[in-house]
């Protein structure tokens, strides 16, 4: 596969860009779900129910934050390399902030009683 610098067909429309990214996002999300399930089962075997729930919550937080970052990066209508960089950094910032917020929500609401 050869990489070229030609603009993506339909890149001026957000829905075309999201369609273009949908397969890679689906593949990564599938692998993340599989890893989360496997690690939740392993944590459950080692630590019981609370270990499984904790591992599943952590994996789902990562998956949700990654999906939001992918949508933000795809919606960026950058026309230059600098614009692409700013869009990627903005998506990463949102991903980190969302992950921290979701972690705080889980910590505040999960009752290990």
- Residue 5 CB coordination number (10 Å): 4
Rounded-to-10 torsion of CA 33, 35, 40, 42: 160
Q: Given a cut of 60, is residue 106 above it in pLDDT?
A: yes
Cite the DSSP H helix spans in 3-80.
Answer: 14-47, 49-75
Q: Does the pLDDT at position 110 exceed 70?
A: yes
Q: What integer best gives the mean pLDDT of the chain?
A: 84
pLDDT, residue 95, reads: 96
């Amino acid at each position: 596969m050869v990489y070229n610098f030609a603009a993506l067909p339909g890149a001026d429309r957000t829905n075309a860009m999201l369609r273009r990214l949908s397969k890679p996002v689906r593949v990564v999300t599938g692998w993340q779900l599989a890893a989360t399930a496997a690690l939740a089962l392993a944590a459950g075997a080692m630590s019981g129910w609370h270990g499984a729930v904790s591992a599943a919550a952590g994996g789902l937080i990562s998956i949700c934050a990654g999906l939001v970052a992918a949508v933000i990066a795809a919606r960026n209508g950058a026309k230059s390399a600098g614009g692409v960089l700013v869009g990627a950094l903005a998506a990463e910032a949102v991903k980190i902030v969302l992950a921290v917020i979701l972690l705080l929500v889980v910590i505040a609401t999960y009752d290990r009683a």
